[in-house]
Amino acid sequence: MKEFELKYGCNPNQKPSRIYIEDGSELPIEILNGKPGYINFLDAFNSWQLVKELKDALGMPSATSFKHVSPTSAAVGIPLPLSLKRACFVDDIEGLDDSPLACAYARARGTDRMSSFGDWIALSEVCDVTTARLIQREVSDGVIAPGYEPEALEILRSKKKGNYNIVQIDPNFVPAEKEKKQVFGITFEQGRNNFVIDEALLSNIVTENKILPEEGKRDLIIALITLKYTQSNSVCYAVNGQAIGVGAGQQSRIHCTRLAGQKADIWHLRQHPKVLGLPFLESVPRAVRDNTIDVYISEDSDDVLADGKWQQFFSVCPDALTVKEKKEYLAGISGVALGSDAFFPFDDNIIRAHRSGVSYIAQPGGSVRDDIVISSCNTFGITMAFTGMRLFHH
């Protein structure tokens, strides 16, 4: 297949629309089901690059959940503890621990469940049955992977009344070194961002604390590769093999750090015993549970529980999660890694990151206030590496 005609572009009025390779080469994909659209393919090709790069960097099966050309999360295939399985609504999936790929997607999809509603999925490996069953019950637009087990493919084809988008990509495809796009009828051309993110990038530690354990290196690499495919400005928090908070497309660095930090805090609080113990009625859909949990965590839960709208979802009235309890719970968090796609211009970012348990930071460096940012890291005992490489993505 040398080109694929799309229903329309970003919006229904933008016609005609198609995807093709400019030199007339065959597309490196096969559409196994559905009819993906313009934004679907933007998500598919960006997300595939992310998981392929994660797999190459860390040697582990990887998955990501994408929405509007930015990842909500990305993760590698590490088994989930029971509390995280419950928080991600996957504690009933048989054989989950036996499928690293399914563990990776359970982590990625479970991180920011509200943002992942209607996501595009990318998998670094051939999709197995366990991963397909996990995907089957989530609201999703489509998936891209290098292959699908026959039974997994049939499971996925049953989604969306048979219209679920399933794309298979040639994992050996190498794109041209130069890439182009048009804006306002004007063609932009640049070299592809082939910069390799690996452990060597973390060698220039500029803080008094030089301790950077293997888990911290892994999580910083996950954060940085996630940022490489996130709309800038962007900041990413990661821990235990997964991105837990992505702040994308903000004009101010501190707003990236706050947004990503808030998402990371919510991810942690989803595992609070009071949240895990919320007595939802069996009839409450998963998406409604997500919305309710988000409100319960983010707002004054006394006010939430006093609202009859929310009471109808519970078998009995649950206990409130107080501001004091949330602060105490989050105060015990540490070992979180943070990546930034450009330098921190002020130390307000470090102060905010510390509040979310950040122990390790990787950022390009190069600000006129680097000394202030480093001093702030020293105050909190944070280890920070200067990578010397900006990771803008637009």
- Tens of pLDDT, residues 130-160: 999 999 999 999 999 999 999 999 999 999 9
Report helix angle 348-355 to 253-269, nearest 10: 0
| Residues 158 and 190 both lie in one domain | no
What average pLDDT does this structure show over 271-289?
93
C-beta separation of 179 from 190 below 8 A = yes
Token pair belonging to 289: 């549970």
> pLDDT tens, 49-103?
999 999 999 999 999 999 999 999 999 999 999 999 999 999 999 899 999 999 9
Q: Which of 135, 154, 174 is the last residue of a domain?
A: 174
| Residues 170 and 305 both lie in one domain | no
| Residues 247 and 350 both lie in one domain | yes
| Residue 163 preceded by cis peptide, ω within 30 | no
Predicted confidence band of residue 300 (pLDDT cuts 50, 70, 90): confident
Q: How far apart are CA 6 and CA 316, in angstroms?
A: 49
- Residue 394 lies inside a defined structural domain of this protein: no
The whole-model pTM stands at 0.95
The pLDDT value recorded for residue 1 is 83
- Residue 101 lies inside a defined structural domain of this protein: yes
- Residue 209 lies inside a defined structural domain of this protein: yes
Task: Provide the domain count of the chain.
Answer: 3
The set of catalytic residues is 67-68, 233, 394
Q: What is the mean pLDDT of the chain?
A: 95
- Residue 391 lies inside a defined structural domain of this protein: no
The H or E element spanning position 293 is: helix 286-298
**Which domain covers residue 250, as residue numbers?**
179-269+330-386
- Residue 393 lies inside a defined structural domain of this protein: no
| Residues 87 and 167 both lie in one domain | yes
| Residues 160 and 284 both lie in one domain | no
Predicted confidence band of residue 172 (pLDDT cuts 50, 70, 90): very high
Closest C-alpha to 298, from 340, 342, 268: 268
- Residue 224 lies inside a defined structural domain of this protein: yes
- Terminal-residue alpha carbon distance, the chain: 28
- Residue 344 lies inside a defined structural domain of this protein: yes
- Residue 392 lies inside a defined structural domain of this protein: no
| Residues 70 and 187 both lie in one domain | no
Taking the CA atoms of residue 247, residue 251, residue 254 and residue 257 in that order, the dihedral angle to the nearest 10 degrees is: 10
CATH number for the domain including 355? 3.40.140.20
Q: How far apart are CA 164 and CA 325, in angstroms?
A: 42
Per-state percent for the chain, helix, strand, coil, to nearest 5: 40, 20, 40
CB atoms within 10 A of CB 263: 24
Beta strands of 132-218 (E only): which ranges? Answer: 140-145, 165-169, 178-183, 186-191
> pLDDT tens, 378-390?
999 999 999 999 9
| Residues 42 and 101 both lie in one domain | yes
Q: Which of 141, 158, 174 is the last residue of a domain?
A: 174
Per DSSP, the three-state class of 213 is: coil
Closest C-alpha to 135, from 112, 166, 114: 166
| Residues 170 and 210 both lie in one domain | no
Name beta bridge partners: 356: none
| Residues 294 and 231 both lie in one domain | no
Q: Any residues with CB less than 8 A from the CB of 1 and at least 6 apart, and which?
A: 26, 27, 29, 30, 31
